[in-house]
Amino acid sequence: MPSQTKSFLLQRFREMGIQPATRHGQNFLIDLNLQQLIVDSADLSAQDVVLEVGTGTGALTALMAQRAGAVVTVEIDGHLFELASELLLDCDNVTMLQQDALKNKNTFAPQVLDTLGAALAQDPSRRLKLVANLPYNVATPVLSNLLSCPYVPHLMVATIQKELAERMVAAPWSKDYGALSAWVQCQADTDIVRIMPPSVFWPPPKVESAIVRIAMDRARRDQVPDLRYFHQFVKAIFIHRRKFLRANVVAAMKKFLSKAEVDAILATMNLPPDARAEQLDVPTLLQLTERIRAEAPEWTL
């Protein structure tokens, strides 16, 4: 099976008369050691159903197919789908889908979910893992939405922008801490496995990248009474970072809670008028969410 090197990609793209599509965030990982590191970090076994978003040429797919029970790989680009189909022809445990993995920015496409569900249903011991060199333009919605989809991932290993990885692992009081930090940390442990320079990709992106490993903590996730409400609420209170927490809560709840009611809730938690959302750790954000939800259960962003 040919290796995904720069020379291989140049030759295949020349043969097909195509160029990488910037609109799809196509940057191909050409460092073979890093391709192997991604697969090794996912700790794949026969009980794993892998979701890959962005098949590309199929190089990473083929590596995963050697270890996983099943691989569902999604590619939006017709030319790449054709190229990868040739490489993966003999991989019987790979299901290829040519489509957008996302229905919209908040939801996975139904066919992707149906295909995953069918693969998982074949054996009750099977578990879902996302392993992918994610296109930058869909990295956030893919990772974020998978944490709230019907099939909860056991593990996610992905290459993403370094900046996005830093936001996921950020601590309170830091500039990178925000709604995404809280959303991921309320249910998973996240580690940055490796920082990668642009030179390990073709064509090279303009920013550094990172391999992240996001391991689900079921016990922590189960402590969140309403995941959807929490996700929506943290997005609302981080939407204007320079504003005080009170102002953001009042703005989000203006049709449901009065300013006096918001002040009373913040006072019960000993949160001062000048508190900001980025100062609150995940347990405090969860506590605040539940106080708000008790008074405004019907609220939605």
Of the options 3.40.50.2300, 3.40.50.1370, 1.10.8.100, 3.30.1340.10, the CATH number for the domain spanning 227-295:
1.10.8.100
Residues of the chain with CATH 1.10.8.100: 227-295
pLDDT per residue rounded down to tens, the chain (301 residues) = 667 888 888 888 888 777 777 677 788 999 999 999 999 999 999 999 999 999 999 999 999 999 999 999 999 999 999 999 999 999 999 999 999 999 999 999 999 999 999 999 999 999 999 999 999 999 999 999 999 999 999 999 999 999 999 999 999 999 999 999 999 999 999 999 999 999 999 999 999 999 999 999 999 999 999 999 999 999 999 999 889 999 999 999 999 999 999 999 999 999 998 999 999 999 999 999 999 999 999 999 8
Q: pTM of the full predicted structure? A: 0.93
Superfamily of the domain at 6-218:
Vaccinia Virus protein VP39 (3.40.50.150)
Q: Which two tokens stand for residue 78?
A: 């017709």
Residues of the chain with CATH 3.40.50.150: 6-218
